[in-house]
Amino acid sequence: MKTIAFFDTKPYDKESFLKFKTDELNIRFFENKLNADTVSMAACCDGVCAFVNDSIDRKVIDELEKFGVGVVALRCAGYNNVDLKYANGKIKILRVPAYSPYAVAEHAMGLILTLNRKLHRAYIRTRDHNFSLEGLTGFDLKDKTVGIIGTGKIGIVFADICKGFGMNIIGYDPYANPDFPGKYTDLDELLQKSDIISLHCPLTKSNSHLINEETIAKMKKGIYIINTSRGRLVDTESLIDGIKSGTVGAAGLDVYEEETALFFEDYSEEIVRDDKLSTLISMPNVIVTSHQAFLTREALDSIAKTTVKNFEDYFDGKDSENEIVVNS
């Protein structure tokens, strides 16, 4: 039997993984996030399961290698929290490349609909028996132009949803996808023509702060910015300035660049000492959700099933199509 150290555990994680766990795997669930201070919990384990806000940096990799841990299975698609080059030759890194693109794409559209039709404000208003419609005017999505940055599986599903609303669809991606139902443009044209911009690309060194002061200045006045991908794609300070100036009409954020110590936790009884996040949350035309776009029953089951299979393949000595390989 192989023992897995499972970090950043939430009740829904435990429920889904126990459903697919085999007798060959002994999973030790930890609520702590994986980092240099908690990596010692993986001592005497054969593998590690990590999530988006766990840190697999050089120090963690060295400690895991010292413990004899040969594999880290990420229960997510992104891997910007892993020092892949340093891990190369030391520890195998596996991931879940796709779980439910529908979950994330539908959440992105949910943010658009809520912001546009002011559903969050209407909900609060009617609970106070205030049935005024003042300030709740939205716009038809039909014939509006949506710019999709990143046209992988999630971007394609999101584009199909937008197509159902009768929207004009344009996209930007260095790698064209033949399934994309819209028109590809360069980034500048997308920024200038879009009424709504939705981010569906992975975070890389080259696109960190893709949305910044310079790119926001190229956008239409009143642009909606939706980010359900990775927080560091958006420079928070520039976004706040864009909202204050009126260039950005609304923002829907399921991710935040400084989310690591905050998201997935309950701080309702504490003072959150993050002025940028507090400013965003206080704005009536901003919705922040706590990295929940993936959170559907179907996605959780798919993540668990694939991650368990990744561990099984590794311990059986099989090559995995889900291994992340980088050149030295």
- The answer to whether 58 is a known catalytic residue is no
Alpha-carbon distance of 296 to 100, in angstroms, equals 8
**What contacts 269, CB < 8 A, 6 or more positions away?**
none
The answer to whether residue 189 sits within a structural domain is yes
The answer to whether residue 221 sits within a structural domain is yes
Cα dist from 126 to 115, 121, 283, whole Å: 17, 9, 20
Per-residue DSSP letters for 291-308?
A: S-TT-SHHHHHHHHHHHH
**What contacts 106, CB < 8 A, 6 or more positions away?**
161
129 lies in the same domain as 244: yes
Residue 43 token pair: 């001592």
The answer to whether residue 320 sits within a structural domain is no
The answer to whether residue 325 sits within a structural domain is no
Q: Is 144 helix (H, G, I), strand (E, B) or coil?
A: coil
The answer to whether residue 322 sits within a structural domain is no
Region of residue 55 (left: phi > 0; alpha: psi -120 to 50; beta: else)? beta
Indicate the pairing of strand 92-94 with strand 71-74. Answer: parallel
Q: Are 105 and 154 in contact (CB under 8 A)?
A: yes
Q: Which domain holds residue 248?
A: 101-288
Q: How far apart are the first and last CA of the chain?
A: 33
Predicted pLDDT at 248: 98
The answer to whether residue 28 sits within a structural domain is yes
The answer to whether residue 217 sits within a structural domain is yes
Q: What is the dihedral of CA 150, 152, 154, 157, to 10 degrees?
A: 100
Catalytic one of 259, 269, 270, 312 = 259
Q: Is 309 helix (H, G, I), strand (E, B) or coil?
A: helix
Question: What is the arrangement of strands in the sheet containing 2-6, beginning at the earlier edge strand?
Answer: 25-29, 2-6, 47-50, 71-74, 92-94
135 lies in the same domain as 274: yes
Alpha-carbon distance of 248 to 241, in angstroms, equals 9
290 CB burial (10 A radius; 0-12, 13-18, 19+): middle
39 lies in the same domain as 15: yes
- The answer to whether 291 is a known catalytic residue is yes
93 lies in the same domain as 17: yes
119 lies in the same domain as 266: yes
Catalytic one of 75, 95, 232, 291 = 291
Catalytic one of 230, 232, 273, 321 = 230
The answer to whether residue 324 sits within a structural domain is no
110 lies in the same domain as 230: yes
CATH at 301? 3.40.50.720
244 lies in the same domain as 306: no
Q: Are 48 and 9 in contact (CB under 8 A)?
A: no
Q: How high is the mean pLDDT in each 10-residue block of the chain (328 residues)? A: 96 94 93 96 96 95 96 93 94 93 97 98 97 97 98 97 98 96 98 98 94 98 98 97 98 95 91 94 97 95 96 94 82
Predicted pLDDT at 314: 95
304 lies in the same domain as 279: no
Domain count for the chain, please give it.
2
Could you tell me which of 273, 283, 258 has the C-alpha nearest to residue 121? Answer: 283
142 CB burial (10 A radius; 0-12, 13-18, 19+): exposed
Alpha-carbon distance of 293 to 290, in angstroms, equals 8
- The answer to whether 297 is a known catalytic residue is no
Alpha-carbon distance of 322 to 89, in angstroms, equals 16
141 lies in the same domain as 62: no
Cα dist from 270 to 33, 47, 274, whole Å: 20, 35, 12
The pTM for the full model equals: 0.91
Q: Are 187 and 171 in contact (CB under 8 A)?
A: no
228 lies in the same domain as 112: yes
209 lies in the same domain as 308: no
148 lies in the same domain as 118: yes
Residue 171 token pair: 């996209």
Predicted pLDDT at 328: 52
Predicted pLDDT at 260: 86
- Tokens 């205030």 map to which residue? 130
Predicted pLDDT at 326: 76
